[in-house]
Chains A and B, each alone.
Chain A
Amino acid sequence: MTTRRLVLSRSAAIIGAASTGLLLPEIVRAQSGRVRVGLMLPYTGTFAQLGVAIENGVRMAIDEKGGKLGGREIEWFKVDDESEPSKGVENANRLVQRDKVDVLIGTVHSGVQMGIQRVVRESGVLNLIPNAGVHAATRALCAPNVFRTSFTNSQPTLALGQAMMAKGHKRAVWITWKYAAGDEAFEGFKESYTKAGGTILKELGLPFPNVEFQALLTEIASLKPDAVACFFAGAGAAKFIRDYAAAGLKNTIPLYGSGFLTEGVLDAAGPAADGIITTMHYSDSLDTPRNKQFRTAYATRYKLQPDVYAVQGYDTGLLLAHGAAAVKGDLNNKQALYKAMETAVIDSPRGKWTMSKAHNPVQDMYLRVVENKENKVLGVAAKALADSGAGCKMG
């Protein structure tokens, strides 16, 4: 009885293995000649929606270019990185070593990106970053095979200082979470605001992701600055906006911030968000034919309104399609591929942008104000703004 069951289960295992292709992977691979594209994005956890928006954007851009890369069919590989930095290297290696991808698209979380950075710098696999704004990726740890299509954490705030001084706010308080993204956003604000002649009265911070702001709001009220600038994102941003208004500060001390403050939280924040001025590389309400066409196409295809993350994913797809077309699908022709991507002009919904020497977008930063749960564009706060790329040694 036991023997028979064993035989049965073994043969079942073999059939199972064969049907999933475990027994004949080499044959299949050799026949296909497909481009292997790996997506390493968060599909669960806090950033799950960002991962989905990015993937949607990538696929839409490539489908608009005929659904192929340089004439070759695509085989997709997906890994959920869970926004878990401790698994960053392991997950990147799954795509690079196990799935042998030609290009790795990822990711959202800066800590996870540092894991990807290590793997792709060692293996030389092409990496396109659709969101993570960590400075090092296009500064000290930049690499010829790493391209970013989003922003650096200090890029939005680099446009903020001038805009605040133009409104006559000469003394400001800065407030953020004390972690890498907050510190990097402060770097951009400090540089632009002091250069424009402003004085930073105090730099306030609280540990990430603590959302008990009351003590610091009391501090702001007693300092009486002309304006407050900040970096917060996600649920914490919604709470900060509401607490700021509830403390009565909204009417006396204007609130400014990096654009992520008012992305995806305007429904939750309600009228408390009205009048907040932010700077960012995109706005849903950007009034250009290119953006409108993109938004209609995305909404029709996915029955979902696109956001800035969908745009970044879309641009990632455009950049990849552009590079692959230039080398006619031969992604191993790295020199020509990188050259094509470095010189690309991406016709994005956010406006045309180019690559900096360190492989980060040189892009316009928009000045936006919240009105009726929408980020209304006031104008361009900084034209063709580039990250310094300080410490990047390449080429």
Chain B
Amino acid sequence: MDLANFLIQLLNSVQYGLLLFMLAAGLTLIFGIMGVVNLAHGSFYMLGAYLAWFLSSRSGSLTLAIVLGAVLAVAFGLLLERLLFRHFYHRDHLDQVLLTFGLIYIFEELRSILWGDDVHGVKIPELLAASFPLTDTLSYPVYRLFMSGVCIALAIGLYLLISKTRLGMKIRAGAFNRDMTEALGVNIKRIHAVVFALGVGLATVAGMIASPISSVYPNMGSQVLIMCFVVVVIGGIGSVRGALIAAMLVGLVDTFGKVLLPHVAGMLVYMLMAGVLLWKPEGLFKQ
């Protein structure tokens, strides 16, 4: 592999890693701060993709679809939290797994009833539709760079929210000691509702941003769910910083694995996970 090629593959890795981060951030927040195992996380990703397709084909604008979709998703997250998840915070993890596993089936069926089982494409906005040449045969789509930019912005935003704001302080306090935080007069129920809606919002936005590249199809959530869990487990449950680094690692291993060791490419990411867990059983950055 020559230098130019190596650099392009590096770009591919970072770009894939950033997308994984955006997907896993919401999961690790809900998992780490509220202690809820949310298997339906992938369904929110699918919901986002379908919303992007549906709203953009109606309105003709992906930007409008994403703004509208994000608002709808947060509202939907708040509603779900109020109706279902709120009753499961103190329950066993197994109960949560059963609830969210059931939700996967319900969301898939609703998707089938509402939008059918077809594969759909989402048009890239005119402004970002171009590609620029890297070598004489290979070009790079501008939209992929835009996606990476959005992911970086989200990462910075999350970091600022959690470590620099008053709300972030309450979130961290609630994750550290729920009872004590509550005793100090913080409305922990409201904090949880906000975090849950934020997590749902992140997954949905990830689905919407990725939809022009991934295309929109049934069961798309379950494919990304496993990768999300790998990232969350490697990074350390609940750590947003850990999720970022783990996502980068997974991106690197997956990309270079496919090129250099194609016959074991399917295993490499999981071997990375096993290796990290042997070394640090609680992940790289346990909170």
Contacts and interface: CB of A to CB of B under 8 A. Distances in A.
Contacts, number: 118
18 contacts: A178-B262, A205-B265, A207-B265, A211-B214, A212-B16, A215-B13, A217-B138, A218-B9, A218-B12, A224-B137, A235-B217, A238-B121, A239-B213, A246-B213, A247-B140, A267-B119, A268-B119, A268-B217
Contacts of B181: none
Contacts of A238: 119, 121, 215, 217
A204 B119 contact: no
B123 A270 contact: yes
B135 to A, nearest CB: 6
Interface string A271-315: 000000000000000000000000000000000000000000000
Interface stretch (B73-81, B183-191, B252-260): B252-260
A254 to B, nearest CB: 13
A268 B265 CA distance: 28
A167 B112 CA distance: 43
A269 B137 contact: no
Contacts of A46: 117, 217-219
A242 B265 contact: no
B42 to A, nearest CB: 14
B220 interface: yes
A249 B138 CA distance: 6
Interface in A185-227: 204-207, 209-212, 214-219, 221-222, 224
A249 B137 contact: yes
Interface of A: 45-46, 48-49, 178, 204-207, 209-212, 214-219, 221-222, 224, 234-235, 238-239, 242-243, 246-249, 252-253, 264-265, 267-270
B5 A222 contact: yes
Given A209-B223, A267-B121, A268-B120, A246 B131 contact: yes
A248 B140 CA distance: 7
Contact of A246 (B137, B141, B256): B141
B133 interface: yes
Contacts of B204: none
Given A215-B9, A222-B135, A235-B215, A242 B259 contact: no
